[in-house]
Amino acid sequence: MPIVIFELPDGTQRKVSAAPGTVLMQAAVSNGVEGIVAECGGNASCATCHVYVDDRHTARVGPPNDVEDEMLDFTAAERRPTSRLSCQIGLSDELDGLIVHVPEEQV
């Protein structure tokens, strides 16, 4: 099972293990990671599951898909080159050790 790390705005880290085949947003929500709101339940329509992928991991995670790219223009916290919607990041063993940063605001 991949282990992923959410770094909160105050610098604390939350390490959670995720079932393969789920998405990063689910790993956050089912472990109560603060700051991942995910209003639309993973349908890429709310932009409230925004994360910044750690610079060292962007290549492993890859770029956003088209719908996601559009939603990322409307996140509450600024969009950066490393921005992704966590509901669009599928988890597999290759992403073990992934670090993402949770933005200050989601709505």
Partner 1 sequence: MSVPTTAAPGAPVVDLDLADLRHDPYPAYAELRRTAPLAWVPSVGRHLLTRYDDIVHAEKLPEVFSSREEGSLLLRTVGPNLLREDDPEHRRLRAAAEPPTRPRQVRDQWAGAFERTAHELLDRIAGRGEADLIADFAEPLAAANLALVLGLRNAGADDVAAWSRAMMDGNSNYADDPDLWLRAESATRAIEEAVAEAAAIVRREPDGSVISSMVHAAEPVSLAEIQNNVKVIIGGGVNEPRDVFGVGAWALLRRPDVLDRVLGDPGSWKRVFEETARWVSPIGMYPRQLTRDHEIAGVTLPAGSRVALVIASGNRDESVFERPDEFDVDRPHRPHLAFGGGPHFCMGAWVARHEVSALAWPLVFGRLKGLRPADSPQDRLEGWVFRGLTSLNVTWHTA
- If the CB atoms of residues 5 and 40 are measured against partner 1, the closer one turns out to be 40
DSSP state of 68: H
> For ligand FES, how many residues bind (rule: CB under 6 A)?
15
* Residue nearest ligand FES, CB atom distance: 87
Give the one entry of ligand FES, partner 1, none that residue 51 binds, where binding means its C-beta sits below a cut-off of 5 to 8 angstroms depending on kind. none
Buried b / exposed e over 31-59, threshold 16 CB at 10 Å, is eebebbbbebebebebbbbbbbbbeebee
Residues near ligand FES (CB under 6 A):
25, 38-40, 42-49, 71, 85, 87
